[in-house]
Structures are given as structure tokens and as C-alpha cells.
A and B are shown apart, each in its own frame.
Chain A
Amino acid sequence: MTLLEIKNLSKSFGGLMALRDLSLGIEEKTIFGLIGPNGSGKTVTFDCVTGFHRPDRGRVFFQGREITGLRPNQIALQGIGRSFQITGVFHNLSVQQNVIFSAQDKRVLRNFQSSFQASRGRPPQAMEEKIEQLLDFTGLKELKGEVASKLPHGVQKILEFGSLMLMHPEPILYMLDEPFSGLTQNELVRYLSLIRELRSRGKTFLLVEHNMRAIMDVCDWIVVLDYGEKIAEGPPREIQTNQKVIEAYLGTPA
């Protein structure tokens, strides 16, 4: 089944055409890569899907329902978890608070009420167990008291990813914008294994990434953008030898 479907998406900023009639479909339980040179429209695609930009034309469907024009918070609650190029953690909160925030209810009046209940808004038992499990799963357990800004870059990336997993409702689709940038080899291996593990639990991934070795290694299907247009699509093996793709990245031979 197609989980995310993008139909004829176009977006321009001033005179610059950032996306030109982009269509693609992401099958359930796949790891899908979106690559292309800088400025080819990858992040704009993410922004249009997650509601940060309103596309000029085109529609986006998630699980068969149209999500075009919804706000980012509404889209998140449909089951899409997105990470950001500039690492999205809450810098002055501890690792544990970061994770708890992700898991907790997002309604303001509900949260206000719970401050004055007997539980003082502490997470219920079941959620605490989930949080513990996640900290174990991501290897963040020993760091849970640390303030996020004090963590090394790579650990922050893992924390960001970990918080996504605890979102409520749990994401079905993970959209990760350059998740591997700046990771050490060990961190990269760990991150990749987390992605594969989640996929085996039925999750779907859309990755924007510049680390070609990692992307070719982990993805099932890749779409290549150049100047806001899709220039190629296929399994990694085909993409690697595609003449158009090589030209887009290296330029045409004179």
C-alpha cells in the first residue's frame, strides 16, 4: 500500500522554482531515499509535506487521506515524525525531559489541569515504562539527566530520533532530514541499525541525505531531484549507474 503520495507538487519562491511538478509514492515499510545536489528541492519537499510551506500546486496524501494545507502540528498527529537539518532537540532540557515532552499530551488546557491533579502531571506508569524502554533501546539511559546542549552532536541526533519514536500517536512515517551528517562511524552504525530495527517493526522511512554510502546501503528505493525536478528513480544499484544522476552531481563532461 502507498503510505505517502505526493501528486504534482510545485512550489516557487519569488522567481525561483524550487519544486516542479514532483510526484512520488512511498510504499509502506520501505526505506525511501530522496537525494540530489544542494538546492535541488529536498528540504522544500519535506516542508511542503509537513505543512511548513503551502505548495503552489499539487496535493499530498497520507494513508489515503489528503493532508495538503494542514498545519505541522496537525500533520504530526496523523503519524508523521520529522527531524530537522539543524538538530531538533530542546537544548536547555535534560535528555529525559526531551523524551517526556515528546510522549506527553499536547493539549494546553489538559496539561494545565494535570498540574493541579494529585499526580502533578507525572507520566502514568505505562508511559514511564515506554520511556525507560526507549532510553534502553537508543542507549541514552546513562545520559538521561544530562542537559541536551552538553551532549555531543551525534548523541543529540540519536536523541532527536529517539524522541520521535515516543511521539503520541507513534509515527508510522519517519521523515529524517540529513540524519547522518556529522556522525562518527560508530554513531552511524548505531543509527542505521535503529532504522532497520524500526522498519522490521513496520515503520516507513523517508530520508534526505548526502552520505551516499549510507543511503545506498540502507535504502530500498531512491528518488533523485535536480533543480526541483525528479530526474531519476529506482533501487540504489540502478541509481548509482544512472547517467543523468552522475551528471547532476558531477556536471556534464565538456
Chain B
Amino acid sequence: MKIWKLILLIAVGLLFPLIGKEGYLTHLAITILIFSILASSLNILMGYTGLVSIAHGAFFGIGAYTSGILVLRHGLPFLAALPIAAAFTGLIALGIGVPSFRTRGVYYIIVTIAFQLIASEIFDSWYAMTGGGLGLRGIPRPGEIAIPGIGLLSFKSKFGYYYLVFTFTLLIHLGIRRIIHSPLGVSLMAIRDNETKALMSGLNPLSYKTFIFVLASALAGLAGSLYAHFLEFAHPDLFSFFVSVDLFLMVMLGGAGTFFGPPFGVFILEMIREFLHEFVALRLFLYGLLLILIIIFLPDGLLKPLSQLGHRLRSKIFSAKEGSGDFTGN
């Protein structure tokens, strides 16, 4: 990925609220940014470490409820609740990860599904804590926050909140990119490719898997906190099994194991969701179909073949040298 493309992407991101203002477009953009954090953190597990998790929605929810409850019931400021929510989610993931990585392959996936279902049940039934099916209402957006060097900024408006979410999304993605290209990233890919060999190279796969599972889940928890304070609301349906499946689909659709793929998958799926707003049943049907088609025909996801097609078209049109940049960032 060339640097100017990255700058362009950031510039578009920064200028977007000028178009979207307080309207629905900004709402949609915030949702896409938050889900990009989710998809990219899930991608570290699925794409780079080879661990499929169908519990990412549950961790998303744990972060959302934790942050909402802390602010609503205990009067913590948002900026304190956010890291606590992330850390608490990570802690829960540690408790789940340590026993579940003793199981392998498909059994491990079943453990994650089971955990998702248990979490959903708790969100739904623990009225005193979560408000159950009524949801947790009135989670406030952060008011004015003092930012050193800039002054007081208000995040009450969508316009303001967008920039908060954008900053987190950007920082988290830069962090993920660093991890992927570091010895940690190489180790994760090595475990994905050949765990036995990685083990015999002196590495302890269990500690790597646990670490990355905790990290990815904590990021999902952070996204949950951002989401709850954005919607000013938390409800079991927002963090259900189907959300976990959506996230799985987003990663697959964009391309597991590519850096830009999962956010792209989020974008595509959110668009589909928008256009099929009225037809919930049709949407589920379409998702299922999409998943089957991707697995059979596009195991690398959409972005890789699309960018290759782009390169081919460009080199045909300009009949110049093939561009060296690959949009997948790998």
C-alpha cells in the first residue's frame, strides 16, 4: 500500500463529517468504524493465527455493558470506563481462553459458540444488571473532555463523537499493523501454518494463542464501550450470536489474513444491510448464500481479487508497468 493511498484514506475519514453532519450518514460511518475495529481484531485471530472465534459479539457486548453500567450506575467518567471495559473484557477472555485452547480445531470453535450463547443468555436475563430485554437505557455520550494541547472538546454531538471513534479506529489499526509486521505477527502466522513445527522451534503456542485472544477480545470490549456510548443504549440483540456470525462473515468477505480486507468487508456488509433494511428475513437468507459463495469461490475474500483486477485493468489501459502496490497490504 502506497503512502499516498493511506493519506487519502485518512483525509476522507477526517473530512467525512463535513458532509454527514448530524445526519444518518455520520451515524452509518461511526457504525462502520466501530465494526472495523471488531473485524480487524477478529482478523488477528482468524486470519493471522488461524483461530476462528464465534464469540466476538459476546466480548463486544461485555465491553458495552461494562462501560454503560460503570458510567450509568457508578458515575465513572467515560474515559475511565472505556479502558476498564476493555481490560475487564480481556480478563473474561483469559478465563475462557486458557481452558478452551486445550481443545483443538472444531472443538475450540464449539467452545466459542457455547460461550457466545451463555453470554447472550446473561445479557438477556440478568435484569438487575443489564436491564434484560428492555436494554440498558440512557448511557450518556461523553460530554466535554480536556485534550492536552487542544482544549475542551465536546463529544455530545454525532459530529464530535465521530472524531473520537475515528481516532480510536486509526490508532488501533496502526497498532494492529505494527503487530502483524513484528516478530509477534510472524510467530502468530507460524502457529497458523504449522503449530507442531512452531512448538519444536521453542515457542509455546498456548501462551501465544491466549495472549492474542485476550488482546483481540479486549479490543472488542473497547469497541463495545464506544458503541454503547454512541447509541446511548445497550441491548442483547446488539451482541447476539448473529452479530458474531456477521463479524465472521465480514472478515471472510473482505479477506481473512489481509490488513485492509476486513474493514472493506464491514463496508460491503453494512451497505447490503442498508439496502435490505426492510427485508430482515431476506437479509439472513442472503448472508447465508454469501457465506457459501465466498467459501467456495473466494477463499481469499473480495479485496484481493478486486485489487488484482484493478491492477490488470490499469496496466491494460495505460499499458505501463504493473503497479507494485497491493491493496491488501500484504
Which residues from chain A sit less than 8 Å from chain B, CB to CB?
50, 52, 71-73, 76-77, 81-82, 84, 88-93, 97, 100-102, 104-106, 108-109, 111-112, 114-116, 120-121, 163, 167-168
Mask of B160-202 contacts with A, CB within 8 angstroms, 1/0: 0000000000000001001101111111011011101111111
Mask of B234-262 contacts with A, CB within 8 angstroms, 1/0: 00000000000000000000000100000
Q: Is the CB of B183 within 8 A of A89?
A: no
Which residues from chain B sit less than 8 Å from chain A, CB to CB?
175, 178-179, 181-187, 189-190, 192-194, 196-204, 207-208, 211, 257
From DSSP, what is the main secondary structure of chain B's interface residues?
Answer: helix
Which chain B residues lie closer than 8 Å to A104 at the CB level? Answer: 183, 186-187
A120 to B198, CA, bound (A): 22
Which chain A residues lie closer than 8 Å to B203 at the CB level? Answer: 73, 106
Which chain A residues lie closer than 8 Å to B184 at the CB level? Answer: 108, 111-112, 114-115, 121
Which chain B residues lie closer than 8 Å to A120 at the CB level? Answer: 178, 181-182
The 7 closest A-B pairs by CB, nearest first: A121-B182, A115-B182, A88-B197, A76-B202, A90-B193, A111-B184, A106-B203
Q: Is the CB of B186 within 8 A of A93?
A: yes
CB of B154 to closest CB in A, whole Å: 31
Write the chain B residue with the least CB distance to A166.
B201
Q: Is the CB of A76 within 8 A of B201?
A: yes
Q: Is the CB of B201 within 8 A of A106?
A: yes
A158 to B203, CA, bound (A): 21
CB of B150 to closest CB in A, whole Å: 24
Q: Is the CB of A73 within 8 A of B208?
A: no
Which chain B residues lie closer than 8 Å to A50 at the CB level? Answer: 200
Q: Is the CB of A82 within 8 A of B200?
A: yes
A71 to B207, CA, bound (A): 13
CB of B10 to closest CB in A, whole Å: 20
CB of B194 to closest CB in A, whole Å: 6
Q: Which of A72, A76, A112, A168 is the one whose CB lies under 8 Å from B211? A: A112
A100 to B181, CA, bound (A): 12
Q: Is the CB of B178 within 8 A of A88?
A: no
Which chain B residues lie closer than 8 Å to A108 at the CB level? Answer: 184, 187, 204, 207-208, 211
Between A and B, 27 residue pairs with Cβ closer than 8 Å are: A52-B196, A71-B199, A73-B200, A73-B202, A73-B203, A76-B202, A77-B202, A84-B200, A88-B197, A89-B197, A90-B190, A90-B193, A92-B192, A93-B186, A104-B183, A104-B187, A108-B187, A108-B207, A108-B211, A111-B184, A114-B183, A115-B178, A115-B183, A121-B181, A121-B183, A163-B201, A167-B201
Q: Is the CB of A93 within 8 A of B183?
A: no
Q: Is the CB of B190 within 8 A of A73?
A: no
Which chain B residues lie closer than 8 Å to A111 at the CB level? Answer: 182-184, 187
Which chain A residues lie closer than 8 Å to B194 at the CB level? Answer: 88-91
A203 to B193, CA, bound (A): 29
A105 to B192, CA, bound (A): 18
Which chain B residues lie closer than 8 Å to A93 at the CB level? Answer: 186, 189-190, 193
Q: Is the CB of A73 within 8 A of B199?
A: yes
CB of A112 to closest CB in B, whole Å: 5
Which chain B residues lie closer than 8 Å to A114 at the CB level? Answer: 182-184
Which chain B residues lie closer than 8 Å to A116 at the CB level? Answer: 175, 178
A21 to B200, CA, bound (A): 25
A52 to B185, CA, bound (A): 25
Q: A88-B194, A93-B189, A120-B178 are in contact. Are A105 and B201 (CB under 8 A)?
A: no
CB of A173 to closest CB in B, whole Å: 13
Write the chain A residue with the least CB distance to B202.
A76
Q: Which of A82, A88, A97 is the one whose CB lies under 8 Å from B186? A: A97
A90 to B181, CA, bound (A): 16
A245 to B236, CA, bound (A): 70
CB of B330 to closest CB in A, whole Å: 10
A97 to B194, CA, bound (A): 14
A97 to B200, CA, bound (A): 17
Q: Which of B178, B187, B197 is the one whose CB lies under 8 Å from A84? A: B197
Q: Is the CB of A106 within 8 A of B179?
A: no
